[in-house]
Amino acid sequence: MKIDRLIGILSILLQQDKVTAPYLAEKFEVSRRTINRDVEDICKAGIPLVTTQGQNGGISIMEGYRLDKTLLTSRDMQSILAGLRSLDSVAGTNRYQLLMEKLSVGSQEVLTSNDHIRIDLSSWYKSSLAPKIELIQNAIEACRLITFRYYSPKGEGEREIEPYLLIFQWSSWYVWGYCGQRGDYRLFKLNRMDKLCDTGVKFEKRQIPDCDCSPRRMYTASIHVKVRCAPQAKWRLIEEYGVACLRAQKDGYLLFEWDFADRNSLFGWLLSFGEQIELLEPQEIREELAGMLDRMQRRYKKEIHMPEES
């Protein structure tokens, strides 16, 4: 841990001209005495640090001393390169491969070594998704408004936003920006966008708030359900929600409990299991689902009449 702290102190001193011992002590959660010993150890290693007293005093690297600012180990580089490769998997270009080569100048063995982490963020919609990501990325960098037609459970319509962040979350890509129509920041799923356009119109960048994209923040869970599940559904429930969501019952079935944000997502989830699960609670939603299934059954029992082509 000590060597990590020493490297951390050097990293801070490379980014800031001068810092105080109390600041470093709080940063690394150690005593000031420990920081003073660390400073001595760094000096013994041949890196001259200067300590000055007084109101504007602090710890700094001796003026004129040159230090390689790449304090990254081979393992650090592997982690960075794994992330960059994942971005190339989305863009379908070698843009980030070129960046990798720049980062690894003087240590090409990092690029050619057998990395043990692969992250593939590509999707089935790669041909349409990659151009959207590229367009939005360029608009964010240049502070230009974008417009698009958006399809959501509440309907569809034209939107114009100031784009600020591209986010990969919940296995999908989103853009987070300020929507003039709503007068607030909103999150938009790229796969629900059509006719995406960079307007070329500049906007003045706002002091943006923190983007909290946690599921509880974006989708308020308001429907608590209890579901009786056949053993065959166990693997999927564990994959989606973890082991803690299930309780084994005496008859061999499983009791699943969870909170859902809205009826549409709940009904879609329930129907995807077919006969493997049964909704027990809430009673009013159980009755609503029964009515839906009854209407679906009557529809499928009707004789099919194919519409004539125009």
pLDDT digits (tens, 9 = 90+) for 68-107: 555 556 666 666 666 666 666 666 566 666 666 555 544 5
CA angle 283, 288, 293 (to 5 degrees): 125
% the chain with pLDDT above 70: 75
CA distance 5 to 9: 6
| Digit-coded pLDDT (tens) for 32-68 | 999 999 999 888 888 889 998 888 889 998 887 765 5
Predicted confidence at residue 149, as pLDDT, reads 96
pLDDT-above-90 percentage for the chain: 45
Q: What is the mean pLDDT of the chain?
A: 83
d(CA 241, CA 39): 48
Q: What is the Cα–Cα distance from 51 to 71, expressed in whole angstroms?
A: 22
pLDDT at 119: 63
Q: Which of 174, 182, 179, 137 is nearest to 162 (CA)?
A: 179
> What is d(CA 151, CA 161) in angstroms, rounded to the nearest whole number?
15
Task: Tell me the pLDDT tens digit for each residue of 103-162.
Answer: 554 454 544 555 566 666 665 665 678 889 889 989 999 999 999 999 987 889 999 999
Burial 146-169 (b: 16+ CB within 10 A, else e): bbbebeeeeeeeebbbbbbebbee
Nearest to 178 by CA among 140, 226, 215, 137: 140
- First and final CA of the chain: distance in angstroms? 74
pLDDT band, very low/low/confident/very high, at 4 (cuts 50, 70, 90): confident
